């Protein structure tokens, strides 16, 4: 199984990059993990709604280039998505493989979110919480949950 984290923006803090490396190492026994960082659109301090929409459209074009293959299962992380337990996420990952999807793309947008166009193309919309997290921290939380999901599906002790 291939797992792609498609994220708009780069991790700026060294401690977040270190956490990413740690989870990438842990996940290497379960899947091929690829972290694809896409450039975030530059916006002024107080962008207009039109500026935000243009930025999301530009970011969507970059995301779309990464998610348009039939063997991919695309999961958009967005506030209006469905919240899952760790066990349910584990089952969602297993189910993707059962239906013939060899790659799961988890899509994390910029601080302004993900374009509605990308959300409409997603196979599933996932909400990590009703709380709001910085998108950089969301990447680490997602990696931990993916690792936990693989541990659950393989009967590992990490989840207990």
pLDDT, tens digit (0-9, with 9 covering 90-100), for 94-146: 999 999 999 999 999 998 999 999 999 999 999 999 988 888 899 999 999 99
Question: Structural domain tally of the chain?
Answer: 1
Q: Which residue has the higher pLDDT, 42 or 60?
A: 60
- On whether residue 120 sits in a domain, the answer given is yes
- On whether residue 35 sits in a domain, the answer given is yes
Q: Where do the H-state alpha helices sit in the chain? A: 14-27, 49-67, 86-98, 116-121, 135-153
**In the sheet that 72-82 helps form, which strands lie side by side, from edge to edge?**
32-38, 2-8, 103-108, 72-82, 124-126
- On whether residue 159 sits in a domain, the answer given is no
Are 140 and 19 within 8 A, CB to CB? Answer: yes
- On whether residue 63 sits in a domain, the answer given is yes
Mean pLDDT score across all residues of the chain:
94
Res 69: pLDDT: 86
- On whether residue 137 sits in a domain, the answer given is yes
- On whether residue 134 sits in a domain, the answer given is yes
Structural domain for 108, as ranges: 2-153
- On whether residue 25 sits in a domain, the answer given is yes
Confidence grade of residue 22 (pLDDT, cut at 50, 70, 90): very high
d(CA 43, CA 98): 41
Q: Domain containing 54 — which CATH number?
A: 3.40.1280.10
- On whether residue 65 sits in a domain, the answer given is yes
Confidence grade of residue 159 (pLDDT, cut at 50, 70, 90): low
């Amino acid at each position: 199984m291939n797992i792609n984290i498609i994220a708009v923006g780069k991790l700026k803090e060294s401690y977040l990059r270190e956490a990413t490396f740690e989870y990438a190492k842990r996940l290497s026994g379960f899947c091929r993990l690829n972290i694809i960082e896409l450039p975030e659109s530059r916006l002024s301090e107080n962008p207009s709604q039109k500026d935000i929409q243009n930025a999301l459209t530009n970011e969507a074009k970059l995301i779309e280039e990464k998610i348009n293959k039939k063997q991919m299962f695309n999961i958009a992380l967005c506030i209006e998505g469905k919240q899952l337990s760790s066990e349910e996420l584990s089952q969602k990952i297993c189910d993707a493989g059962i239906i013939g999807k060899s790659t799961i793309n988890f899509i994390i947008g910029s601080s302004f979110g993900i374009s509605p166009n990308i959300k409409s193309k997603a196979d599933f919309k996932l909400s990590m919480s009703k709380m709001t997290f910085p998108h950089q921290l969301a990447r680490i939380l997602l990696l931990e949950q993916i690792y936990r999901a693989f541990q659950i599906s393989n009967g590992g002790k990490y989840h207990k």
